[in-house]
Amino acid sequence: MQLDLDFIRQQFPIFQTELGQKIGFFDNAGGSYPAATTVNRLTDFYTNYKVQPYGNNPIAQKAGEAMDLGRHTMAELLHVSIDELTIGASSTQNLNTLAAACKSIVTKGTEVIVSEQDHEANIGGWERLCRQQGATLSIWKVDPQSGELWLEDLEKLISDKTKVVAVTHSSNIIGTINPINEIAKIIEPYGSRLVVDGVSFAPHEIPNLDELKADAYVFSTYKTYGTHQGVMVVRKNFLGDLDPQCHFFNRSIHYKWLDSAGPDHASIAALAGIGEYFSAVYDHHFQADDLPLHEKARKASHIMNAYEQMICAQLLDGLRELPLRIYGKNTIENREATISMRSEKYTSKEMVDALSNYNIAAKNSHFYAYRLLSTMKVKDLDDGVLRLSLSHYNSLEEVNRVLEALRKLF
């Protein structure tokens, strides 16, 4: 089954605009375009019922119903219970709240292991927690050349003191996919909890949380065609060990335990739009039937990913011919469609500017994976790497335009 790119692009309002048609967008790991279904849900909320929800009047009731639908749709999409799903302002916020909730677990003399490959969002909160509690923060180091994490290093690091292991599902720099279930197997005998940052994985594949043995899994909906929020699944047997971060009188509502702030109501309602988008992709490519949403989403995601891998492989083929250092693997195997590189001749910013002359939007930075880039000896961390991150709505013509611009430069 091949992805129908024309159909896909029709589902995103940006491709109906002049700029959207002109620009080849390769900063998707920073944030994706929202689907029309998301925009419609958001507009509907702001137009028709943007009041304090759940009040005793028809407008407030509609607002509450729309929010419930958004929350339920996300739970159905991920095939988890509402009680296990926290919606927060962002993934950083969710991970910080989770770390703060681990105070009774991470106590003096215990340990948290974080990976050096991670975005700072899944490190900083754990570091602060360890400092406050008199616990040890241990770093699971990457291979400085490849940026990869080796399982034997984790085996050496882990001990009876380890209470939490925090690791990314895939790297937002080198794109590599980490073997979460093998990691879970290593840490299981020690009884530690596995916290997985799925922010750079989820935009490429809807995570199958039935299979993944994570105690907590986090990703950002503004990178998965939705509104600017983070969702966090915390499994019931982990949740029960945590210190609730909500008002004391809300403790009977489990999904509020780790929601200390209460994110934008309209954005919660608009989460329904992500489910509708996956459903529409499934119905168009397979058949309109009443399969549960998570099954539709997984099948749709599968063909979206296969297409994206195909165009990413072509991009990698072209990039390998150029005088560029590609960080991590320079082939498509076991990686997401996110590629980072540097040149000896040009700064990363100069390459971004050269691409921009060809109407290609890309970005250079350390992308908050500061520790990874510094271990990989990236000279100027502010200039960082040029990152090209693809989505399933990118075209082969756009990939070729990237290569044409870079060939011209070298």
Q: Which residues bind ligand PLP (CB under 6 A)?
A: 90-92, 119, 121, 168, 172, 197, 199-200, 220, 230
Q: How far apart are the first and last CA of the chain?
A: 38
**Which of 388, 406, 223 has its CA nearest to residue 312?**
388
In the complex, the smallest distance separating the C-beta of residue 154 from ligand PLP, rounded to whole angstroms, is 19
In the complex, the smallest distance separating the C-beta of residue 300 from ligand PLP, rounded to whole angstroms, is 23
In the complex, the smallest distance separating the C-beta of residue 127 from ligand PLP, rounded to whole angstroms, is 15
Nearer to ligand PLP, 86 or 92 (CB): 92
Nearer to ligand PLP, 92 or 348 (CB): 92
Gyration radius of the chain over CA positions? 21
Nearer to ligand PLP, 63 or 199 (CB): 199
Is 320:330 a contact under the CB 8 Å cutoff? yes
Nearer to ligand PLP, 86 or 279 (CB): 86
In the complex, the smallest distance separating the C-beta of residue 31 from ligand PLP, rounded to whole angstroms, is 8
Nearer to ligand PLP, 139 or 291 (CB): 139
In the complex, the smallest distance separating the C-beta of residue 121 from ligand PLP, rounded to whole angstroms, is 4
Nearer to ligand PLP, 121 or 376 (CB): 121
Nearer to ligand PLP, 9 or 141 (CB): 141
In the complex, the smallest distance separating the C-beta of residue 395 from ligand PLP, rounded to whole angstroms, is 24
In the complex, the smallest distance separating the C-beta of residue 89 from ligand PLP, rounded to whole angstroms, is 8
**Residue type for position 155:** E
In the complex, the smallest distance separating the C-beta of residue 76 from ligand PLP, rounded to whole angstroms, is 22
**Which of 47, 30, 64, 380 has its CA nearest to residue 224?**
30
Nearer to ligand PLP, 281 or 369 (CB): 369
Nearer to ligand PLP, 294 or 366 (CB): 366
In the complex, the smallest distance separating the C-beta of residue 119 from ligand PLP, rounded to whole angstroms, is 3
